[in-house]
Amino acid sequence: MSYFCGIDLGAKRSQVCIIDNDQKVLVNRKVANDIEVIHRLIRPHGRVPTVIESTFNWYWIVDGLQDRKVPVTLAHSLKLAAISSAKVKTDKRDALVLAQLLRANMIPTSYIYPAEQRPLRDLLRQRWDAVALRADEYRKMRGRLYREGITTVGSNEVRLMGAEEVNELIDHPLIRRQMMANIERVELLTRQIKAFEKELLAQVKTRPDFTNLKTIPGIGDILALTLLLEIGEISRFPKARQFASYCRVAPGCADSGDSHRRGRGNKQGNPYLKWALTQAAEYARRFDRQFADHFDAVLRKHPGASGTIITHCIVAHRIAFAVYHILKDGVPYNPEKLFRSNPES
């Protein structure tokens, strides 16, 4: 007899459902988020194939069950329409539907990022958060200056502001205090960002794949870090076009009858890789003659207000192919191969 287990994972408690091959429910119980408690429900039925939705806190349960030799599938949350679109949606029903989909081999799977690399990737994402928070502080500082009628300070000058500049520009002591609070937060975040970058680079700077990525025009330390750590294992992508789609630099498709439309699903994939590749596209066209010519040629085909955005995405798509082949083949950047008529070959 075969058994299948679906776990609807919550923050503190989870619903565990086990069914047999005839879809008879053997267990459907809510328990505390304790790996031993959950494993005790599964263990009497053997090494039961188990599916867990990829919610924010899946690390502990996937690692715990894999350590106990339980085969685990991580389900892609965005593609579980059978759960998210159901009229009746409860934890009990969600766990049952997960088990039934696993039995039918219809689970849309998500990548289980290697446990030993997760702390490094999460540190990179924390750096991302710190950079975003610092940028928000800069925006608040500029907004406060605008409210005081000061419009002569540009974005670059705001980043260099200190106590002396604040005292020269602003008379009111309380507004000065607010500006100084912004500056103090910026200084703290800057120290943290530098510390994160130092630790991240120390971990990967000797890796050949990191060095190879930096041979692509437009890619430096931070972009190479982002690409390397967000991709994980490049072997999970059978082809370059699937990798480009995951990076969100390939348009979606919504064909129906005689209607042919593009754009659906553009926000499905990894936003960090989208950012890294579009940044690389901009730097490459600024500093590399071959990419600059390619950018201009594509831009001529896409006139209008959205032409630059489309062109950036097309160039980023080409860089994605370069990244894929560099990581898959373990070789440096080859411009002759990339700028052939068909970069996939």
pLDDT in tens, 283-328: 999 999 999 999 999 999 998 888 998 899 999 999 999 999 999 9
Distance from C-alpha of 212 to C-alpha of 86, rounded to nearest angstrom: 47
Q: Assign 54 to helix, strand or coil.
A: coil
- For residue 90, the model assigns a pLDDT of 93
> Cβ neighbours of residue 273 under 8 Å, at least 6 residues apart?
226, 227, 230, 231, 246, 247, 248
- Give the H or E element holding residue 50: strand 50-53
Lowest mean pLDDT among 248-257, 265-274, 303-312: 248-257
Does 229 have pLDDT greater than 70? yes
pLDDT tens for 79-99 read 887 777 778 889 999 999 999
Residue 72 in contact with residue 111, Cβ under 8 Å?
A: no
pLDDT mean over 148-157: 90
Check residue 266 and give its pLDDT. 64
DSSP state letters, 220-269: -HHHHHHHHHHH--GGG-SSHHHHHHHTT-S--B--BTTB--B-TTTTSS
Domain positions in the chain: 3-103, 118-204, 208-338
User: Is pLDDT of 164 > 60?
Assistant: yes
Residue 78 pLDDT greater than 90, yes or no: no
H helix or E strand, kind and range, residue 6: strand 3-8
Residue with more model confidence, 345 or 170:
170
Average pLDDT over the chain, rounded to an integer: 92
- 345 pLDDT exceeds 80? no
In this prediction, residue 250 has a pLDDT band, given cuts at 50, 70 and 90, of: confident
Using CA atoms, how far residue 285 sits from 282, 292, 298, 311, 343, in Å, is 5, 4, 12, 11, 18
Q: In what order do the strands lie in the sheet with 13-20?
A: 25-32, 13-20, 3-8, 50-53, 72-75
Question: Tokens 């330390």 map to which residue?
Answer: 221
Lookup: tokens for 250: 């390939």
The residue count of the chain comes to 345
Strands 72-75 and 50-53: parallel
Query: Are the beta carbons of 70 and 50 closer than 8 angstroms?
Result: yes
The confidence score (pLDDT) of residue 19 equals: 97
Q: Which fold has domain 3-103?
A: Nucleotidyltransferase; domain 5 (3.30.420)
Decide: pTM greater than 0.85: yes
